[in-house]
A = this chain, B = another copy of it.
Amino acid sequence: MNALGKHLLLELKGCNKEVLNDIGFLREALLAAAGEAGATVLGESFHQFKPQGVSGVVIIAESHICIHTWPEYGYAAADIFTCGNSVQPKKVAEIIVGKLGSKNHSIAEMSIGVSVTRVA
């Protein structure tokens, strides 16, 4: 199957609620995951919600890594979108799972741009 990219949808349950509300920790975790997986970071945007929760995105040359956290549920959703083969999105996902200490996670993988053809 020929695809332009992969999109991994990651659900992280059973995370430490303090970690999920720590924007500095989450920013470092995503940047470290990108770096350790060999991705090139081009931009980022993180936001702290009140009373709790963080949204963040890292734009990488290979596409993006996003996270949204709900500390009150010990829950975070992340997604990792990559094109090309230089970065393995599962490696990014595994690093994020480890850093957030999720006790129960799931990963769904979608293929993106399957069998599209070049235009003139």
Contacts and interface: CB of A to CB of B under 8 A. Distances in A.
Interface residues of A, number: 40
Contacts of A59: 45-47, 55-57
Contact of A119 (B9, B46, B68, B74): B74
Given A7-B79, A55-B59, A55-B64, A116 B44 contact: no
A72 interface: yes
A39 to B, nearest CB: 12
Nearest to A17: B119
Chain A interface secondary structure, helix, strand, loop or mixed? strand
Interface string A88-110: 00000000000000000000101
Nearest to A20: B119
A4 B61 CA distance: 30
B66 A57 contact: yes
A51 interface: no
A13 B4 CA distance: 13
B7 A112 contact: no
A82 to B, nearest CB: 10
